[in-house]
Chains A and B, each alone.
Chain A
């Protein structure tokens, strides 16, 4: 469909992620390591989910598409489980770093690690969802020639962007909830993830899927902002460049 679609959709899908990585992660080696570690954990969860799905397809003998709903649900739950495992590991690493440092504080805070690991989950999840599609979009073809929606690429790009941001926010909220042992936060993250995944099942009815997902992204973002200690007051202070 052309290079324009490729670059446009790639920018939509990964623009915010790239900006976040370049501005906040790339300069700090520890954060880059956490980024790669988060991606590794997400891949583990995907491996588990694919294994489960392949097994269930084999065992049940039904066609693949019918098992997608439970498959996707299992994938979501496994992802959250791996996020929890990531939390445990990072917490241990945080304690280790604090122990080794001279002033008893680790060079990276758990909140920063929450943000970076959420971002890494988002990036790797987005890449795995959309990279093959993007590469196809650079080549020849007609979108929706068999009657599917012609907006496939652009909606995929927006969905990926939303997913990347959502993972980042969920990471922050999840780690905070785990740290303070609040099951409510955990439940809402898992529920939110299941909801988003379920909404994508409504594709290609994009008003019902893409719209709510974007609204959900905004709300989750505000919630994560509050969890991380932000407030309207902080925003004003930041904008007025006061210290």
Chain B
């Protein structure tokens, strides 16, 4: 779900709070190693930040001071200036999300179109036990609906399990789970992916080289995601693991089930985040009660200088639930890792951004960032990848789905600017994507093909 989540503590904040498109204003994540000493200062800053509309949770003292000094002036700025700032940063942050989402989709589509492995049918996940090989349409539809029900129930069970774990403070368990799943994703799935790519291009690679490459890739990935690393490297790793997860889903979900699951999961996302009894919302509220950040989830952070080590409750909640699907789903647990990395990275970034910040605007620019849950990346890429895989060799369908998803993301961000609370990122984009997929594949394709065969232009 979306990172813009401005958690429900916004009710306590003054009403001129701008939590806008920026990342969640939840209190900063204390790193598990460093204890909570930073969190006090961080929380104060975070509250002030939230009031000023900045999204980052200053986990570093240096940043905190600067933001502290920066905030009061900003608050005294006229209302419309804040609004203008919000919107102006809004456009920039929309682009800051467009770029990684586009990159992830490009990786997935490029792989789908070139590596045959990911479009071959080689069995199914155990969470979609019903096969779609039946001749009758009704039976196939029924099977896909049953598959979806099973999948979504697994997700719900895991989310509730996660909420319970969080309620009873089993942080070590969650932390360990996350590390395990990111290990599996960074090593095993990368190994499989590399193997298939090498097979496709008929490139020979000896085992020592392979071991070296995979080891370095995986180790640096674990460090970047769970600990500290350059922001762009962390972003690149998050994009890569989202792409890997999406590829696994595209391979192992049968066709009709995939579409029904996409639809169902956007409805689930909507309900889990917005309904008062939704597991994700409960997670947020629990975290609020305890006045601690929702434990780190897999979030893509595009913060320019300081990464916000905020937990994104939605992704957090969804992460583990989906992770338990199967090995492939461990990618979702990766969702957790970045947030850990975020918090720790922010700690280390404290001393780093000591370059003089001359103007407030500059400070604000450097502070703000947006975050998007990795689950959203994954499902966007699944939709576009499925379109690329199954749309009868047509590129127009893929492109139409891509534009639809970007527009959905844009609209979601706009709604976020209006409502200033946690919003699910999936429903609008997936709805548009599904509509465009089916209509382009069935209506537009014959029309454009007929036009092209006569070399007619409209």
Interface residues of A, Cβ cutoff 8 Å to B: 29-30, 32-33, 36-37, 39-40, 43, 46-47, 49-51, 53-54, 64-65, 68, 71-72, 75-76, 79, 97, 99-102, 107, 124-125, 127-129, 131-133, 135, 152, 155-156, 159-160, 163, 196-197, 200-201, 203-204
B residues less than 8 Å from A135 (CB atoms): 395
Inter-chain contact B95/A43, CB cutoff 8 Å: no
Inter-chain contact A203/B456, CB cutoff 8 Å: yes
Is B447 on the interface with A (CB-CB < 8 A)?
yes
Q: List 8 extra interface pairs beyond A36-B407, A46-B444, A65-B454, CB under 8 A.
A: A50-B439, A50-B444, A50-B446, A64-B446, A71-B447, A163-B457, A196-B457, A200-B455
Is B65 on the interface with A (CB-CB < 8 A)?
no
Q: A39-B403, A40-B407 are in contact. Are A128 and B456 (CB under 8 A)?
A: no
Sample of 8 A–B contacts (CB below 8 Å): A33-B95, A36-B407, A46-B447, A47-B439, A71-B447, A97-B87, A132-B448, A156-B455
B residues less than 8 Å from A51 (CB atoms): 439, 443
- List B426-456 residues whose CB lies under 8 Å from chain A: 436, 439-440, 443-444, 446-452, 454-456
Number of residue pairs A-B, CB distance < 8 angstroms: 124
A residues less than 8 Å from B394 (CB atoms): 132
Inter-chain contact A29/B95, CB cutoff 8 Å: yes
B residues less than 8 Å from A100 (CB atoms): 80, 83-84, 86-87
Q: How far is the CB of A89 from chain B (nearest CB, A)?
A: 12
Inter-chain contact B87/A36, CB cutoff 8 Å: no
Inter-chain contact B457/A200, CB cutoff 8 Å: yes
Q: How far is the CB of B184 from chain A (nearest CB, A)?
A: 35
Q: A64-B450, A68-B451, A131-B395 are in contact. Are A33 and B94 (CB under 8 A)?
A: yes
Inter-chain contact B403/A65, CB cutoff 8 Å: no
A residues less than 8 Å from B88 (CB atoms): 101, 107
Tell which of B91, B98, B399 has the most Cβ of chain A within 10 Å: B91
Bound Cα distance A37, B407 (Å): 7
Bound Cα distance A64, B328 (Å): 45
Inter-chain contact A47/B452, CB cutoff 8 Å: no
Bound Cα distance A64, B394 (Å): 20
Bound Cα distance A199, B450 (Å): 17
- Which of the residues A71, A132, A155, A156 comes within 8 Å of B396, measured between beta carbons? A132
**B398, closest chain A residue (CB):** A131
Interface residues of B, Cβ cutoff 8 Å to A: 78, 80-81, 83-84, 86-88, 91-92, 94-95, 98, 394-396, 399-400, 403-404, 406-407, 410, 436, 439-440, 443-444, 446-452, 454-458
Shortest beta-carbon contacts, A-B, top 8: A29-B91, A50-B443, A75-B458, A203-B455, A50-B447, A29-B95, A50-B444, A200-B457
Inter-chain contact B456/A33, CB cutoff 8 Å: no
A residues less than 8 Å from B83 (CB atoms): 100
Inter-chain contact B92/A29, CB cutoff 8 Å: yes
Q: How far is the CB of A98 from chain B (nearest CB, A)?
A: 10
Q: A33-B91, A47-B440, A128-B399 are in contact. Are A200 and B456 (CB under 8 A)?
A: yes
**B439, closest chain A residue (CB):** A47
Inter-chain contact B94/A129, CB cutoff 8 Å: no
**A155, closest chain B residue (CB):** B455
A residues less than 8 Å from B446 (CB atoms): 50, 54, 64
Bound Cα distance A37, B455 (Å): 27
Bound Cα distance A189, B207 (Å): 63
- Which of the residues A128, A132, A203 comes within 8 Å of B454, measured between beta carbons? A203
B residues less than 8 Å from A155 (CB atoms): 455
Q: How far is the CB of A56 from chain B (nearest CB, A)?
A: 11
**A26, closest chain B residue (CB):** B95
**B399, closest chain A residue (CB):** A127
Q: A43-B403, A156-B455, A203-B456 are in contact. Are A129 and B448 (CB under 8 A)?
A: yes
Bound Cα distance A131, B456 (Å): 14
Bound Cα distance A159, B450 (Å): 17
**B413, closest chain A residue (CB):** A33
Inter-chain contact A102/B404, CB cutoff 8 Å: no
A residues less than 8 Å from B436 (CB atoms): 43, 47
Q: How far is the CB of B215 from chain A (nearest CB, A)?
A: 36
**B98, closest chain A residue (CB):** A32
Inter-chain contact A159/B395, CB cutoff 8 Å: no
Inter-chain contact B443/A40, CB cutoff 8 Å: no
Inter-chain contact B399/A131, CB cutoff 8 Å: yes
Bound Cα distance A76, B458 (Å): 6
- Which of the residues B94, B440, B443, B458 comes within 8 Å of A197, measured between beta carbons? B458
**B458, closest chain A residue (CB):** A75
**A104, closest chain B residue (CB):** B80
Bound Cα distance A99, B448 (Å): 42
- Which of the residues A30, A68, A132 comes within 8 Å of B456, measured between beta carbons? A68
Inter-chain contact A102/B396, CB cutoff 8 Å: no
Inter-chain contact A102/B78, CB cutoff 8 Å: yes
Q: A33-B94, A132-B396 are in contact. Are A72 and B451 (CB under 8 A)?
A: yes
Bound Cα distance A170, B359 (Å): 42
Bound Cα distance A75, B407 (Å): 22
Bound Cα distance A18, B266 (Å): 35
B residues less than 8 Å from A46 (CB atoms): 444, 447-448
**A206, closest chain B residue (CB):** B455
Inter-chain contact B458/A79, CB cutoff 8 Å: yes
Q: How far is the CB of A196 from chain B (nearest CB, A)?
A: 7
B residues less than 8 Å from A132 (CB atoms): 394-396, 448-449, 452
Bound Cα distance A237, B431 (Å): 50
Bound Cα distance A156, B86 (Å): 44
Q: A65-B454, A79-B458 are in contact. Are A40 and B403 (CB under 8 A)?
A: yes
- Which of the residues B84, B448, B450 comes within 8 Å of A128, measured between beta carbons? B448
Q: A53-B447, A54-B443 are in contact. Are A30 and B91 (CB under 8 A)?
A: yes
A residues less than 8 Å from B406 (CB atoms): 36
Inter-chain contact A54/B95, CB cutoff 8 Å: no
Q: A32-B98, A36-B410 are in contact. Are A129 and B457 (CB under 8 A)?
A: yes
Q: How far is the CB of A183 from chain B (nearest CB, A)?
A: 23
Inter-chain contact A124/B455, CB cutoff 8 Å: no
A residues less than 8 Å from B457 (CB atoms): 129, 159-160, 163, 196-197, 200
- Which of the residues B80, B86, B399, B456 comes within 8 Å of A72, measured between beta carbons? B456
Inter-chain contact B81/A43, CB cutoff 8 Å: no
Inter-chain contact A133/B452, CB cutoff 8 Å: yes
